[in-house]
Amino acid sequence: MSIHLVIIDALNLIRRVHSAQPDPNDIARTITTTTRTLNKIITESQPTHIIAVFDHHLQERGWRADILPEYKQNRKPMPEPLMKGLESIQDAWWKLGIDSLLSEGDEADDLVATLAMKVASHNEKVTIISTDKGYCQLLSPTLQIRDYFQHRWLDEPFIDKEFGVKPNQLADYWGLAGVSSSQVPGVPGVGPKAAKEILNQFNDIEQAYASDELPTKYRKKLDEHIESARKCKLVSALKTDIELGFNLQDLRFNGANEA
């Protein structure tokens, strides 16, 4: 039997639904809206297996902040009503037949990436439901990313139009250009246009740094800031080798659970 694993980037979905609501204290409405959304996702995607992956809300900024102290330093804390309502949301999702996986020492992104790559590497179909373009570095013939809110696929043509590089160059792209929303600085003086130009000429940061053909306008910048570029690439990349502690059979979708 062919497999289709759907992975829900849970807080990505919940935060967007919650922020659009007129009353931030109305968790019942968040539950109703996210449940309706997930029912549509299930109907559209017809998963054989499904899981919702959550960042642990008590977790610090993780291993990335050890490498880059400013990483996500200014991110807004989760609204208190939403934090208090997470368990109720998870219970509602469980009734739909969707279990929840909470990260501990790793960010949810890395758990999603590890699980997705493990299944996709066996030529089975995986769909990640998220607006997070960071997942696009994982794209493969059997792994796709769905931005549910914009009703679009974050696929190779999208990446080419948005960034002008290949999916497997995205960590290098962010290593050079940075990610302002996560306080990842990249290389000073190298913006999106320059990062694209460099990576259209070279496969990655290391090849560009080692080459005598690197344009002079970028040579000094890279010579002075190569360590920053390396660190920023490292925190932009996703871990795909986390010990998961469960197998695919545990994620089988059998329809709604009894209340």
pLDDT tens profile 196-219: 999 999 999 999 999 999 999 999
Both structure tokens of 21? 């609501």
Place 105 in a pLDDT band, splitting at 50, 70 and 90: low
Residues 6+ apart with CB under 8 A from 37: 13, 17, 148
Annotated binding residues, written as ranges, equal: 109, 176-177, 185, 187, 190
Residue 223 near residue 205 (C-beta atoms within 8 A): no
Helix (H) or strand (E) holding 190: none
Residue 102 CA to residue 209 CA, distance in Å, equals: 39
Rounded CA-CA distance 89/4 in Å is: 24
Known binding-site residues for K(+) equal 176-177, 185, 187, 190
Domains in the chain, CATH or no CATH each = 4-158+242-251 (3.40.50.1010), 164-236 (1.10.150.20)
Q: Measuring CA to CA, which residue among 155, 233, 232, 163 is closest to residue 193?
A: 163
Name residue 258's beta-bridge partners.
none
Least confident of 13-22, 101-110, 153-162, 186-195: 101-110
Which segments are annotated as binding site for Mg(2+)? 109
CA distance 135 to 167: 9
Can you give the pTM of this predicted structure?
0.94
Are 155 and 133 in contact by the 8 Å Cβ rule? The answer is no
**Single-letter residue type at 30:** T
Lowest average pLDDT, out of 24-28, 71-75, 98-102, goes to 71-75
